[in-house]
Amino acid sequence: MRKHLLKGVLALACLTLVSIPLPVTAQGPDLGMSIRVNPSSTTPGSTVGVFAIVTNNTSKSLKTTVTFTSLSPCGTETSLGYNRLSLYPGQTVWVTVSYPIPPDACAGQYAISIVEKSSGKSSGTSAAENAATCYLSVQ
């Protein structure tokens, strides 16, 4: 009996860890990014917050632009905004955007992405692209 109870408790603990939404990260040679959405599940007509962390992994200053987009399960891509960043070596910044879900939004999983394109001017490297994506459930 104890053996079955212990297996049940361990299975529940593992299921709980899997169900917690974690930020999704992307790590390029010059820039590290992570993104998450809160809440991770919502309804049409509501607003969610999109949160990203951007880190300059180089030893030189870096100029970059990050763009937020949403791709609905119906195939509609929406621009959520962009930020131009100037980062010192090793600097990390928090970038956020508010995302109002349209009242007529289709139900399903939305891919919320942050994409960066580095100018390469300050770091002396060529232009680079990097992206991270997380998911929002609209019910």
pLDDT in tens, 38-79: 999 999 999 999 999 999 999 999 999 999 999 999 999 999
In DSSP terms, 86 is beta-bridged to 63
pLDDT at 119: 54
> What does the block give as tokens for 78?
């929406």
66 neighbors 83 (Cβ within 8 angstroms) = yes
The dihedral sign for the CA sequence 105, 106, 109, 112: negative
115 neighbors 129 (Cβ within 8 angstroms) = yes
- Band the pLDDT of 29: cuts 50, 70, 90: confident
pLDDT at 1: 56
Domains in the chain with CATH codes = 22-138 (2.60.40.640)
pLDDT digits (tens, 9 = 90+) for 78-118: 999 999 999 999 999 999 999 999 999 999 999 999 998 75
Contacts of 17 (CB under 8 A, 6+ apart): none
Please, what is the end-to-end C-alpha distance for the chain in angstroms? 40
Provide the whole-model pTM: 0.73
High-pLDDT (> 90) share of the chain, %: 68
Strand order, beta sheet including 41-42: 41-42, 129-138, 108-118, 62-71, 77-87
